[in-house]
Amino acid sequence: MSVLSGKKIVLGVSGGISAYKTATLVRLFIKAGAEIQVVMTPASKDFVTPLTLSTLSKNPVHSTFYNDEDENAQWNNHVELGLWADFMIIAPATANTLSKMATGNCDNILIATYLSAKCPVYFAPAMDLDMYKHKSTLHSFERLKEYGNIMIPAESGELASGLFGEGRMAEPENIISFIEMDIQSKLPLRGKKILITAGPTYEAIDPVRFIGNHSSGKMGFDIANEAAKQGAEVILISGPTHQTLKYSSINLIKVISAEDMYQACQTYFGNVDVAICAAAVADYKPKVVADQKIKKSDAEFSIALEKTKDILASLGKEKKHQFLIGFALETENEIENAKLKIQKKNLDLIVLNSLQDKGAGFGKPTNKVTFIDKNFKIEPKELKSKELVAEDILEKVVLSFNN
Task: Tell how strand 61-62 and strand 87-93 pair up.
Answer: unpaired
Q: Range of 104's domain?
A: 8-185
- Total domains, the chain: 2
Shared domain for 179 and 308, answered yes or no, is no
R_g over Cα of the chain: 28
Shared domain for 398 and 313, answered yes or no, is yes
Residues 43, 47, 48: CA angle, nearest 5 degrees: 105
Q: What is the pLDDT of residue 329?
A: 82
The residue from 77, 174, 213, 346 that is catalytic is 213
Shared domain for 237 and 160, answered yes or no, is no
Shared domain for 124 and 246, answered yes or no, is no
Shared domain for 174 and 220, answered yes or no, is no
Task: Single out the residue in 163, 185, 207 at which a domain terminates.
Answer: 185
Q: For residues 237 and 197, is the Cβ–Cβ distance under 8 A?
A: yes
Please check whether residue 60 lies inside any domain of the structure.
Answer: yes
Q: What is the pLDDT of residue 64?
A: 84
Per-residue pLDDT tens digits for 32-43: 999 999 999 999
- Residue 69 burial (C-beta neighbours within 10 Å; 0-12, 13-18, 19+): exposed
Kindly report the backbone phi and psi dihedral angles of residue 353, in degrees, each rounded to the nearest multiple of 5, phi listed first.
-110, 145
Does residue 108 have an active-site annotation? Answer: no
Q: What is the pLDDT of residue 136?
A: 95
Please check whether residue 203 lies inside any domain of the structure.
Answer: yes
Task: Single out the residue in 160, 185, 210 at which a domain terminates.
Answer: 185
56: CATH = 3.40.50.1950
Shared domain for 137 and 251, answered yes or no, is no
Shared domain for 155 and 102, answered yes or no, is yes
Shared domain for 146 and 201, answered yes or no, is no
pTM of the predicted structure, to 2 decimals = 0.81
Shared domain for 155 and 211, answered yes or no, is no
CA 106/CA 378 separation, integer angstroms: 50
Preceding omega of 153 cis (within 30 degrees of 0): no
Q: For residues 372 and 335, is the Cβ–Cβ distance under 8 A?
A: yes
Q: For residues 43 and 12, is the Cβ–Cβ distance under 8 A?
A: no
Kindly report the backbone phi and psi dihedral angles of residue 397, in degrees, each rounded to the nearest multiple of 5, phi listed first.
-65, -45
Shared domain for 179 and 281, answered yes or no, is no
CA 380/CA 369 separation, integer angstroms: 6
Task: Single out the residue in 151, 185, 219 at which a domain terminates.
Answer: 185
CA 269 vs CA 222, 342, 399: distances in Å:
20, 18, 21
Please check whether residue 3 lies inside any domain of the structure.
Answer: no
Please check whether residue 2 lies inside any domain of the structure.
Answer: no
- Give bridge partners of residue 234 from the DSSP assignment: 194
Please check whether residue 47 lies inside any domain of the structure.
Answer: yes
Instruction: Report, as ranges of residue numbers, the positions in the chain whose pLDDT lies below 50.
Output: none
Shared domain for 216 and 118, answered yes or no, is no
